[in-house]
């Protein structure tokens, strides 16, 4: 119907190399593993990727944006296993997340770009779009599955449902990150079981009181 820009570039001149993009992102992850965020340099990434610095700057505005793109894909590998119960499902995904946070490229990059984003609103938005909000699917999927199983009641108010989902997400993601990167304790089966017990207990308690009696 209309001429879309994508299928054929329609722009004159040499098109950008797609291989360069993947090579750069791979090189970025490799450099993160070896050097960590603060010692990673764009010149080094370019050299690893076999690419000129200019090529890199043509595609990304800076180190932060590049790293966000480089690690975003890692977080998309998370998935919600079907272990038969809501508690088991949560425990499974939390363990996956903890494993991800043991990978050096993920742990060094995640905190660093969040730190940068405290003074850079577009970057914060990019992080949310590329990394964080994409994983809320896990919460939504977990709830839907629990409701199918009858473990959780249906939530009539969609707005309240969204608010609760956000809260759950903050609690899970925040607690696991804090445990893994700040407290430094292990995120092992025992910790996950105790955490999940608190979380689910809280959810059920809140579901009971939240509906009928908000202000007793």
Partner DNA sequence: GCATAAACGAGACGGTACGTCGCGTCTTCGA
Partner DNA sequence: TCGAAGACGCGACGTACCGTCTCGTTTATGC
Name the residues that contact its own copies, by CB under 8 A. 36-38, 104, 107-108, 110-112, 114-119, 124, 127-128, 132, 163-164, 166-167, 169-171, 173-179, 181-185, 191, 194-195, 197-206, 209-210
* CB-nearer residue toward DNA: 55 or 147: 55
Contacts of 56 (CB under 8 A, 6+ apart): 24, 42, 45, 46, 49, 66
50 binds DNA (CB under 7 A): yes
Least gap, CB of 3 to its own copies (angstroms): 33
186 interacts with, out of DNA, its own copies, none, CB within 5 to 8 A per kind: none
Nearest to 113 by CA among 159, 149, 148, 65: 65
d(C-alpha 172, C-alpha 121), whole Å:
24
* CB-nearer residue toward its own copies: 21 or 151: 151
d(C-alpha 5, C-alpha 81), whole Å:
38
Nearest to 30 by CA among 60, 84, 71: 71
12 interacts with, out of its own copies, DNA, none, CB within 5 to 8 A per kind: DNA
25 interacts with, out of its own copies, DNA, none, CB within 5 to 8 A per kind: none
Binding-site size for DNA (CB under 7 A) equals: 27
Element (H, E) at 9: none
52 binds DNA (CB under 7 A): yes
Please, what is the angle between helix 104-117 and helix 86-102, to 10°? 90
Contacts of 124 (CB under 8 A, 6+ apart): 117, 118
Least gap, CB of 62 to DNA (angstroms): 4
Q: Binder to DNA among 43, 122, 202, 211 (CB under 7 A)?
A: 43
d(C-alpha 13, C-alpha 17), whole Å:
12
Site for DNA, rule CB under 7 A: 8-17, 20, 39, 41-44, 50-55, 57-59, 62-63
């Amino acid at each position: 119907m209309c001429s879309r820009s994508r299928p054929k570039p329609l722009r004159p001149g040499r098109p950008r190399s797609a291989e360069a993009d993947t090579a750069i992102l791979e090189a970025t992850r490799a450099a993160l593993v070896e050097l960590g965020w603060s010692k990673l340099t764009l010149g080094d990434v370019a050299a690893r990727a076999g690419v000129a610095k200019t090529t890199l700057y043509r595609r990304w505005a800076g180190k932060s944006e590049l790293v966000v793109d480089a690690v975003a894909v890692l977080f998309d590998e998370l998935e919600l296993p079907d272990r038969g119960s809501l508690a088991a499902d949560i425990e499974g995904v939390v363990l996956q997340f903890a494993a991800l946070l043991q990978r050096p490229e993920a742990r060094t990059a995640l905190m660093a770009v969040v730190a940068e984003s405290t003074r850079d609103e577009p970057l914060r938005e990019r992080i949310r779009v590329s990394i964080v909000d994409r994983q809320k699917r896990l919460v939504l999927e977990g709830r839907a599955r629990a409701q199918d199983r009858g473990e959780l009641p249906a939530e009539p108010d969609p707005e309240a449902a969204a608010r609760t989902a956000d809260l759950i997400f903050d609690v899970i993601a925040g607690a696991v990150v804090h445990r893994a990167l700040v407290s430094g304790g292990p995120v092992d089966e025992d910790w996950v079981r105790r955490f999940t017990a608190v979380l689910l207990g809280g959810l059920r308690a809140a579901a009971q009181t939240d509906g009928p009696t908000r202000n007793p």
